[in-house]
Amino acid sequence: MSKIHILGIAGTFMGGVAALAREMGHVVEGSDQAIYPPMSTQLEKLGIALAQGYKPGNISADADEIVIGNALSRGNEAVEWVLDSGRKYNSGAQWLAENVLPGRDTLAVAGTHGKTTTTTILSFLLDAAGREPGFLIGGVAEDFGASARLGTGREFVVEADEYDTAFFDKRSKFVHYRPLVAILNNLEYDHADIFPDVAAIQRQFHHLVRTVPRRGRLIVNGHEKTLDEVLAMGCWTPVERFGFDERFEWAARKLADDGSSFVVLHKGTEVGTVQWHLLGDHNVLNATAALAACDAVGVDIAKVIPVLANFSSVKRRLEVIGEANGITVYDDFAHHPTAIRTTLHGLRAKVGKARIVVAMEPRSNSMRLGAHADALAPSLDDADAVVFLARPELPWDAAKVVAAIRGDAHAVPNTDELIASLKSIVKSGDHVVFMSNGGFDGAPRKFLAALKG
In this structure, the answer to whether residues 153 and 298 fall within a common structural domain is: yes
In this structure, the answer to whether residues 336 and 240 fall within a common structural domain is: no
**Rounded to 5, what percent of the chain is helix, strand, coil?**
35, 25, 40
* Total domains present in the chain: 3
- Strand-strand pairing, 269-275 and 261-266: antiparallel
pLDDT at 146: 87
Report helix, strand or coil for 298. Answer: coil
188 occurs within a structural domain = yes
Q: Which of 91, 112, 127 is the last residue of a domain?
A: 91
pLDDT at 396: 72
In this structure, the answer to whether residues 419 and 325 fall within a common structural domain is: yes
Below-50 pLDDT ranges, the chain: 371
133 occurs within a structural domain = yes
All residues at 6 or more sequence positions from 370 whose CB lies less than 8 Å from its CB, including other chains: 395, 396
337-351 helix and 281-296 helix, angle to the nearest 10 degrees: 110
Report helix, strand or coil for 416. Answer: helix
156: CATH = 3.40.1190.10
Q: What is the DSSP letter of 314?
A: B
58: CATH = 3.40.50.720
pLDDT at 194: 65
pLDDT at 370: 52
Q: Which of 290, 258, 292, 293 is nearest to 275 (CA)?
A: 258
In this structure, the answer to whether residues 333 and 406 fall within a common structural domain is: yes
Scored b (16 or more CB within 10 A) or e, 48-78 reads: bebbeebeeebbeeebebbbbbbbbeeebeb
Domain residues for 239? 101-310
390 occurs within a structural domain = yes
407: CATH = 3.90.190.20
All residues at 6 or more sequence positions from 302 whose CB lies less than 8 Å from its CB, including other chains: 271, 272
pLDDT at 399: 84
Q: Which of 255, 278, 310 is the last residue of a domain?
A: 310
96 occurs within a structural domain = no
In this structure, the answer to whether residues 280 and 344 fall within a common structural domain is: no
